[in-house]
Amino acid sequence: MAKKIRLNLFDMNVIGHLAHGIWNHPSDERRRFNELSYWVELAQLAERGKFDAIFLADILGVCDIYQQSRDISVKTGMQVPANDPMLIVPAMAQATTHLSFAVTISTTYEHPFSLARRLSTLDHLTNGRVAWNIVTTAVTSAARNFGLSEVIQHDNRYDIADEFLEVCYKLWEGSWEDDAVVLENGIYADPAKVHEINHQGQYFKVEGPHLCEPSLQRTPVIYQAGNSDRGRKFAARHAECVFVGGTSVDAVRYYAQDIREKAKAYGRDPEQLLMFKGLNVVVGKTAGEARDKFEDYKKYWSAEGALAHFGGSTNLNLADYDPDEIFEYVETVGNQTHTAQYSKFGNKKRTVREVMEAIGDFGGSAGGANMVVGTPIEVADYIQHLVEETGIDGINLAQVTTPGTVKDFIELVLPELQNRGLVKEEYEEGSYRQKLFGGNGRLPDHHPGARFRKVGLAK
Amino acid sequence: MAKKIRLNLFDMNVIGHLAHGIWNHPSDERRRFNELSYWVELAQLAERGKFDAIFLADILGVCDIYQQSRDISVKTGMQVPANDPMLIVPAMAQATTHLSFAVTISTTYEHPFSLARRLSTLDHLTNGRVAWNIVTTAVTSAARNFGLSEVIQHDNRYDIADEFLEVCYKLWEGSWEDDAVVLENGIYADPAKVHEINHQGQYFKVEGPHLCEPSLQRTPVIYQAGNSDRGRKFAARHAECVFVGGTSVDAVRYYAQDIREKAKAYGRDPEQLLMFKGLNVVVGKTAGEARDKFEDYKKYWSAEGALAHFGGSTNLNLADYDPDEIFEYVETVGNQTHTAQYSKFGNKKRTVREVMEAIGDFGGSAGGANMVVGTPIEVADYIQHLVEETGIDGINLAQVTTPGTVKDFIELVLPELQNRGLVKEEYEEGSYRQKLFGGNGRLPDHHPGARFRKVGLAK
């Protein structure tokens, strides 16, 4: 297996990300999430473990669907508070050299002109170590925080996102030519090589020019994380990395293949889209040690936090259902239907009670990411199997405890993966895009952003 | 003189801030502005010099009024590029302990929900060392970058800003009670002590709750920098620190007094509003050395950059006037009229040519901030005189060269000011607000933000 598995650390600027309630474990340091030193130490640890990037999720409102209340979320610290994810990056970047940063930002509640400026600034400050995980934000409470009475309809959000990206590409790729910046003879830049973009679209009007000179990557590495059909189409057009959904091997394989096929239809090289899967790992030197850790963590796990999280993610209030009725919310994966997010149980019909038990099962898929518990060899086997069977390219390692999960992974799992030649021993040089894809670090020619490049154009 | 003069370092995330063209001086390091290390080193230097804060200006479009073109701005690097100011703060904060950060952000092109979250995040990460310099953005090119065909009318921008602040106060002061966060027995926070704000205003609808738990300052220290009558009213209501305009002693005194009187009318303690004035300093051990430095810098100074800057600040294209006509743009200061920004010449009528010469005069008020050139004693005399005659509280030291101006100031001027007892010898403990005003670091009761506090309220 020549291809190395990519390793991301999956996190969020919160006290409770996916391991609901476990901030309360005595070894856990997540209550320090408001402190810069917490993030700096975590970034340094991730770089010691040769992680490619820290992937930062985000949310713009409190999950308040389950039991029609946000009380469980607030009580358990389930993604409440949710601090801004971008502002922890500069200090982490200052403390590291190779680690990259994938930041989740919504196209629904930002303006492309200021967001493009922020991401260019960050790409400059990090020396090209930035990725943008694009979301369109389905959370209903977020809409009410931004002046809307309800969420913009799903496909329309992606239409807006498509145009949002077009504005960004124009600013990043087309506004400043490569040789616009002169820095000689008192001339900062050649005005003839800096261009307005004059975007006049359905949702945005942006004149430009872009307020930043070209950064190392120009366009940051583009991630996408939506799993709907429209979301996968969006990923197939724009994404260089995709955080795929599904928990069963079949579902993950289907999502990965489907996005690659859609990308091919858009004229892109499907092998230039890297697929990532979220994963929880509890590892011990022996099976018994792993099991003991798992049982210990489980004591702090909040099943109701998981139900509140599920409500926020799906807009379904399971508390409002008859526990004995058959749960009807399903998704189509290939030509099979599965109970959404819990398709690893196959496609058999399940009652609401069974679904709620599955969501609340710490050993199932805590926070929506698969859980693997075992020895280093067992965990490496699981990861190797998952990658080989699904065709994914990397994992987003969620943290059960912080920084315990990462420390354990680095100490126990990483050497086993390295011994098998499955992950790198050292970082490669260059920007994040160069580390992922080689080349000159710019968007490949097949990417839709590339067509907005201006080369040697007159003003 | 018991009151200590406050020292801010005045900067912007750009290659050319006010000393137009001087990035091209061989000793100047501003071309490193895209690098984190540049900002980290500057912050550490400022902290060695016991500066209270770095004050970061911002602009959201290219100045393109003068000669109806943005070519001079681009060519001379006059506030082009203009990177995001907030993203350099976390790394500077990580490298310092006491230095605070005043960041300019426009209420016209942000949303209060996400901005309040960013500022709370920053206040957490910096341990309460954040201020917000509120502007409403008059630059016309900025409007066209954000989908508007023209700038929102001046007073209306301030009406929006008033409501914007009300939303922020509700989120910062009223959403989370002081004892909402529990962090015991598996409880992160008490849901009954976290409140929606349910703001329904003319310009914004925001439900809440705020996504961040209370930071050390809750509301960051509020700066304001507008000089219009409506701008001064806004400052009188909201500001704790004001960056006042005017270049003559008379004008600065008038602005400071007028804002304090207006604040009194709003029921606030006028002595709790600190006034700052921008200043350029070129200092040498001898008068001759200072003069030589000044002449050396002057060789790199761009008078046309200054004219482009003036155009952007005033929306006046002086290139379009008859040079021999009397310049009619005046402002009323007290009961006298002065040519705007150049009132230090008194209120005599001047031709457009004379005004343009004054703007382009490096020795006049480079970039709109007064220029003082001399020995440490002369510079200290100037500052002492300015403070005593106008009643201001501090200066915003602009940089002629970077980091030369700051290094010279620390080496030569600071000891002289300290010897006179005019500035502090050591930092005080606490948040930025505590360093400025003492007390518990919260907004004072007379501040309009204080009335949104919830203490012990039921949900």
Q: Nearest 5°: CA angle at A366, between A362 and A367?
A: 140
Question: Which carries the bigger pLDDT value, residue B229 or residue B296?
Answer: B296
**Where are the extended beta strands (E) located within B136-176?**
none
Beta strand A274-283 pairing with A394-398: parallel
Nearest residue of chain B to residue A215 (CA atoms): B34
Predicted model pTM: 0.96
User: Alpha carbon of A313 to those of A65, A74, A306: distances in Å?
Assistant: 9, 16, 10
What pLDDT, on the 0 to 100 scale, is given for residue A330? 56
Nearest residue of chain B to residue A23 (CA atoms): B186
User: What residues of chain A lie within 8 A of the CB of B80, using their CB?
Assistant: 188-189, 211
Helix (H, G, I), strand (E, B) or coil at A363: helix
What pLDDT, on the 0 to 100 scale, is given for residue A344? 40
For residue A209, say if its preceding peptide bond is cis, omega within 30 degrees of 0: yes
Query: What is the rounded CA–CA span in Å between residue A412 and residue A41?
Result: 20
Half-sphere exposure of B236 (CA within 13 A, CB side): 20
Neighbours of B222 (CB within 10 A): 25
Residues 6+ apart with CB under 8 A from B278: B10, B18, B243, B368, B369, B370, B395, B396, B398
Which of residues 238 through 297 in chain B touch A, CB cutoff 8 A? Answer: none
Evaluated on CA atoms B261, B266, B270, B276, the torsion sign reads negative
Query: What is the rounded CA–CA span in Å between residue A4 and residue A435?
Result: 12
Considering only CB atoms, B122 lies closest to which of A16, A87, A95, namely A87
Please choose, from the candidates B297, B360, B411, the residue with its C-alpha nearest in 3D space to the C-alpha of residue B28.
B297
Helix (H, G, I), strand (E, B) or coil at B207: coil
Helix (H, G, I), strand (E, B) or coil at B220: coil
Q: Where are the alpha helices (DSSP H) in B77-153?
A: 89-94, 112-125, 140-145
Which fold, B6-450? TIM Barrel (3.20.20)
B111/A21 touch (CB, cutoff 8 Å), yes or no: no
Query: What is the rounded CA–CA span in Å between residue B194 and residue B183?
Result: 14
B191/A71 touch (CB, cutoff 8 Å), yes or no: yes
Nearest residue of chain B to residue A91 (CA atoms): B91
A205/B120 touch (CB, cutoff 8 Å), yes or no: no
Please indicate if any CB of chain B lies within 8 Å of the CB of A95. yes
Residue A114 known to bind ligand:
no
The DSSP output letter for B25 is S
How far off is chain B from A32, nearest CA to CA, in Å? 10
For B209-221, the pLDDT digits (tens) are 999 999 999 999 9
A81/B211 touch (CB, cutoff 8 Å), yes or no: yes
pLDDT digits (tens), chain A, 459 positions = 468 999 999 999 999 999 999 999 999 999 999 999 999 999 999 999 999 999 999 999 999 999 999 999 999 999 999 999 999 999 999 999 999 999 999 999 999 999 999 999 999 999 999 999 999 988 999 999 999 988 889 889 999 999 999 999 999 999 999 999 999 999 999 999 999 999 999 999 999 999 999 999 999 999 998 778 899 999 999 999 999 988 788 889 999 999 999 999 999 999 999 999 999 999 999 999 999 999 999 999 999 999 999 999 888 899 999 999 988 655 555 444 444 444 444 556 788 998 899 899 998 777 778 899 999 999 999 999 999 999 999 999 999 999 999 999 999 999 999 999 999 999 999 999 999 999 999 999 999 999 999 864 433
A117/B207 touch (CB, cutoff 8 Å), yes or no: no
Has residue B379 got a pLDDT over 80? yes
Has residue B347 got a pLDDT over 80? no
Has residue B40 got a pLDDT over 70? yes
Which residues sit opposite A72 in a β-bridge? none
A36/B94 touch (CB, cutoff 8 Å), yes or no: yes
Chain A interface, best mutation among B25, B105, B181, B188, by max A CB count within 10 A:
B188
What pLDDT, on the 0 to 100 scale, is given for residue B348? 64
Nearest residue of chain A to residue B73 (CA atoms): A191
B88/A62 touch (CB, cutoff 8 Å), yes or no: no
Residue B159 known to bind ligand:
no
What pLDDT, on the 0 to 100 scale, is given for residue B355? 87
User: What residues of chain A lie within 8 A of the CB of B130, using their CB?
Assistant: none
Please indicate if any CB of chain A lies within 8 Å of the CB of B140. no
A90/B95 touch (CB, cutoff 8 Å), yes or no: no
What pLDDT, on the 0 to 100 scale, is given for residue B135? 95
Please indicate if any CB of chain A lies within 8 Å of the CB of B181. no
Please indicate if any CB of chain B lies within 8 Å of the CB of A16. yes
Structural contact between residues B137 and B164, judged by C-beta atoms closer than 8 angstroms: no
B211/A83 touch (CB, cutoff 8 Å), yes or no: yes
Please indicate if any CB of chain B lies within 8 Å of the CB of A68. no
Average pLDDT, chain B: 92
Residue A104 known to bind ligand:
yes
User: What residues of chain B lie within 8 A of the CB of A109, using their CB?
Assistant: 111, 114
Residue B1's pLDDT band (cuts 50, 70, 90): very low
**E strand or H helix at A234, and its extent?**
helix A229-238
How far off is chain A from B207, nearest CA to CA, in Å? 5
Query: What is the rounded CA–CA span in Å between residue A13 and residue A29?
Result: 13
A87/B90 touch (CB, cutoff 8 Å), yes or no: yes
What pLDDT, on the 0 to 100 scale, is given for residue B326? 86
User: Alpha carbon of B412 to those of A23, B228, B363, B396, B405: distances in Å?
Assistant: 51, 36, 20, 17, 10
What pLDDT, on the 0 to 100 scale, is given for residue A94? 98
How many residues comprise chain B? 459
Considering only CB atoms, A74 lies closest to which of B76, B122, B191, namely B191
Q: Where are the alpha helices (DSSP H) in B214-298?
A: 229-238, 249-265, 287-298
Whole-angstrom distance between the N-terminal and C-terminal Cα of chain A? 49
What pLDDT, on the 0 to 100 scale, is given for residue A227? 78
Task: Transcribe A72-111 into DSSP letters.
Answer: HHHHHTSS-SB--SGGGHHHHHHT-SS-EEEEEEESSSS-
User: What residues of chain A lie within 8 A of the CB of B40, using their CB?
Assistant: 94
Query: What is the rounded CA–CA span in Å between residue A273 and residue A271?
Result: 5
**E strand or H helix at B166, and its extent?**
helix B154-169
Residue A94 CA, chain-centre distance (Å), reads: 22
User: What residues of chain B lie within 8 A of the CB of A187, using their CB?
Assistant: 75-76
Residue A158 known to bind ligand:
yes
B90/A95 touch (CB, cutoff 8 Å), yes or no: no
Please indicate if any CB of chain A lies within 8 Å of the CB of B431. no
Residues 6+ apart with CB under 8 A from A250: A333, A334, A336, A343
Query: What is the rounded CA–CA span in Å between residue A244 and residue A257?
Result: 11
Please indicate if any CB of chain B lies within 8 Å of the CB of A38. no
Please indicate if any CB of chain B lies within 8 Å of the CB of A317. no
Residue A296 known to bind ligand:
no
B77/A189 touch (CB, cutoff 8 Å), yes or no: yes
Considering only CB atoms, A145 lies closest to which of B37, B113, B124, namely B113
Has residue B141 got a pLDDT over 60? yes
What pLDDT, on the 0 to 100 scale, is given for residue B457? 45
Has residue B342 got a pLDDT over 80? no
B74/A188 touch (CB, cutoff 8 Å), yes or no: yes
What pLDDT, on the 0 to 100 scale, is given for residue A355? 87
Q: What is the dihedral of CA A397, A398, A403, A406, to 10 degrees?
A: -20
Structural contact between residues A417 and A423, judged by C-beta atoms closer than 8 angstroms: yes
Helix (H, G, I), strand (E, B) or coil at A443: coil
Please indicate if any CB of chain A lies within 8 Å of the CB of B94. yes
Beta strand A336-339 pairing with A330-333: antiparallel
User: What residues of chain B lie within 8 A of the CB of A80, using their CB?
Assistant: 188-189, 211
The CA radius of gyration of chain A, in Å to the nearest whole number, is 22
Nearest residue of chain B to residue A16 (CA atoms): B188
A141/B207 touch (CB, cutoff 8 Å), yes or no: yes
The CA radius of gyration of chain B, in Å to the nearest whole number, is 22
Mean pLDDT of B368-379: 93
Chain B interface, best mutation among A84, A167, A175, A185, by max B CB count within 10 A:
A84
